[in-house]
Structure 1
Amino acid sequence: MIDFKKNIEKLYSKMGKCSICPRKCGANRNNGQKGLCETADKIFVASSSVHAGEEPPISASSGSGAIFFSNCTLNCVFCQNYPISQLGNGGKISLESLVDMMLNLQNRDVHNINFVTPTHYSPQIVKSTYIARKKGLRVPILYNCSGYEDIETLKLLEGTVDIYLPDIKYSDNETAFKYSGVKNYVEINQAALKEMKRQVGDLTVDDGGIAQKGIIVRHLVLPGNIENTKKALEFIAEELSENTYISLMAQYHAAHKSSNFEELSRSLTKEEYEEAVSYLELLNLENGWVQSLQQGFLAYT
């Protein structure tokens, strides 16, 4: 039996000398000190809306209830959402307002509540979800994150999160430090994915093909970094399972500080992406979705 009140207490305690994410900056966020994520104790949200652009079982027919949080625990030079994650665009809201957002989205018939860039707000997310469920929230909770997660924090999310949607951005630490400014990304990310898999298992859907529980791993193919992609896919096949659902993303475009890196200052080529898809198939990773370079998600057959 999960003691949600105790989990909430532990998460807020971790904010006192912050160790919510693997950077463990030690800021006293409970007293208003900002951590390396540029966030203290207040909640900042950039948008709350019905989102139709996620993977098919996430958005499905009625959309995903996406709540985009401001700031981030990473500093990715190519971030596609950098005005929100890096520049901190968004407005301050109360915990009660976050609860209301969740319930209002459910009233719009969304299939899930999709917390985007949630890690640094995990204490508030667990508390608000606990309250919202007492007020009638029934749809699954989706944790849409970078995959750079603290294991202790993840364990305190168990029972709150139904669906994990993490990234596997890198398969070597040098590349991770170069593009995202963090050390030991690979070991931390791989351990986090295993913990998520332990909690929720492989993706399960209802009779309508709508996600109910499980993990979907996202990987954005970066131009000039095909070996990074291949090794990331090898980890999934060998250490998670061939049954893992993967979203292999082709939507890279140069953004934020990408122009500082020659290999990232251009778009992904069709040939690069096709090589990634071919390697996915070679590893017998048949569950999930690939993209066209012009359109949305295309399901495997």
Structure 2
Amino acid sequence: MQGMLEACQLCPRGCRVNRTKGEKGYCRQTSEVMIARAALHLWEEPCLTGENGSGTLFFSGCTLGCVYCQNRSIATSKVGKVISITRLVEIFFELKAQGAHNINLVTGTHFIPQIVEALQLAKDKGLELPIVYNTSGYEKVESLQLLRGYVDIYLPDLKYKDEIFSTRYSYAKDYFEYASKAIAEMVSQVGMPTFDEGTGLMKKGVMVRHLCLPGAAKDTKAILRYLYQTYGDTIYMSIMNQFTPICDLQAYPEINRRLTEREYNHLIDYALDLGIEQAFIQEGETAKESFIPEFDLQGV
């Protein structure tokens, strides 16, 4: 699999750089695995965090690069530490020892071959925790197929349906084309959601996240409608109101504000009118910088 990095086409950007020789493409990463944080995370959906938290690893670099990214320091590879595959496996077990309910791999698209190698080694050593693949949704089906049998829970975003938004905010005109096919592949791999009867924790399945953007209600409705009409109760959804304009968004004044309570409630009402029941919503002051973790190399 490492040969895939010699002319890398793991993500839709298709840079074809030789990452094994230190070349960097859109993701700003070579073939060396870099992570910025590995710790118990309590800010995911309740069925993932449970009482102890999700064992979350934040990889440095990103294949999408949204203008409003809350994790900009790691997405742009300004923060992170290079680690070996052996160390990655050790981190899995350290998180397990801390009580993690699962291993949550955040933004690992550009490291899929290395992740597969690490997961195989971990399984050989007895790791049995559910593996969560947490992604922007901007994925190639061919790359996701490498994860078949290794990932139990897929946690993709579906950020946009309209290419006007995906082009303006994420420089990816083809975002929905790839993300929709990626979600179909994820569902085909893991099937219907299953939960532990005692704890309520998700053991297997797909949960699609959508971050509601200010002024983009029409696109959010199109996404909710698409997901429900396509998958019904085959997936869970997470409809999020936590958009926080912490970056310099002067060039994007239409989203340089938080979502209002009225806007969000309108979208939730729309989801209910569609018949969506398997969904998580956010309440309270979720749109705060305090909900963004410190990328201080904890656990690395």
TM range (shorter): over 0.9
1:172 is aligned with what amino acid?
A: D
The residue matched to 2:160 in structure 1 has which SS? Answer: coil
Residue among 241, 245, 265 paired with 2:232: 241
Could you say which residue in structure 1 is the equivalent of 2:218?
227
Matched, 1:169 2:143: no
The 1:211–1:255 alpha-carbon spacing in structure 2 relative to 1, beyond 3 Å, is: same
Superposed CA offset, 1:145-194 (max 9, x none): 00000010011110011100000000111210100011211111111111
1:122 is aligned with what amino acid?
A: I
Structure 1, 24-33 or 148-157: larger mean CA deviation: 24-33
1:28 is aligned with what amino acid?
A: N
Distance 2:77 2:140 in 1: 24
The 1:87–1:255 alpha-carbon spacing in structure 2 relative to 1, beyond 3 Å, is: farther
Residue among 181, 192, 195 paired with 2:185: 195
Could you say which residue in structure 2 is the equivalent of 1:95?
85
Could you say which residue in structure 2 is the equivalent of 1:3?
none
Residue among 264, 274, 294 paired with 1:273: 264
Cα drift, residue 126 of structure 1: 0.6
2:261 is aligned with what amino acid?
A: K
CA contact (8 A) 2:191 2:234 kept: no
Q: Which runs of 5 or more structure 2 residues have no equivalent in the other structure?
A: 288-300
CA contact (8 A) 1:20 1:153 kept: yes
Could you say which residue in structure 1 is the equivalent of 2:19?
29
Structure possessing the higher relative contact order (Cα contacts under 8 Å, 6 or more residues apart): 2
Cα drift, residue 35 of structure 1: 1.5
| Runs of 4+ more than 3 Å apart | none
CA contact (8 A) 1:244 1:285 kept: no
| Alignment of structure 1 residues 151-162 onto 2, 5 Å | 151-162=141-152
Q: Which runs of 5 or more structure 1 residues have no equivalent in the other structure?
A: 1-8, 297-301
User: Over aligned residue pairs, what C-alpha RMSD do you find?
Assistant: 1.3
Cα drift, residue 243 of structure 1: 4.3
CA contact (8 A) 1:270 1:293 kept: no
2:127 is aligned with what amino acid?
A: L
CA contact (8 A) 1:165 1:217 kept: yes
Distance 2:93 2:150 in 1: 16
Could you say which residue in structure 2 is the equivalent of 1:299?
none
The residue matched to 1:114 in structure 2 has which SS? Answer: strand
With normalisation by structure 1, the TM-score equals 0.92
Amino-acid identity (%): 41
With normalisation by structure 2, the TM-score equals 0.92
Distance 2:148 2:193 in 1: 16
Aligned length: 286
Distance 1:16 1:240 in 2: 37
Cα drift, residue 211 of structure 1: 1.1
Could you say which residue in structure 1 is the equivalent of 2:116?
126
The residue matched to 1:251 in structure 2 has which SS? Answer: coil
The residue matched to 1:143 in structure 2 has which SS? Answer: strand
Superposed CA offset, 1:101-147 (max 9, x none): 00111111211000011111111111001001111211011000000
Could you say which residue in structure 1 is the equivalent of 2:292?
none
Distance 2:286 2:4 in 1: 42
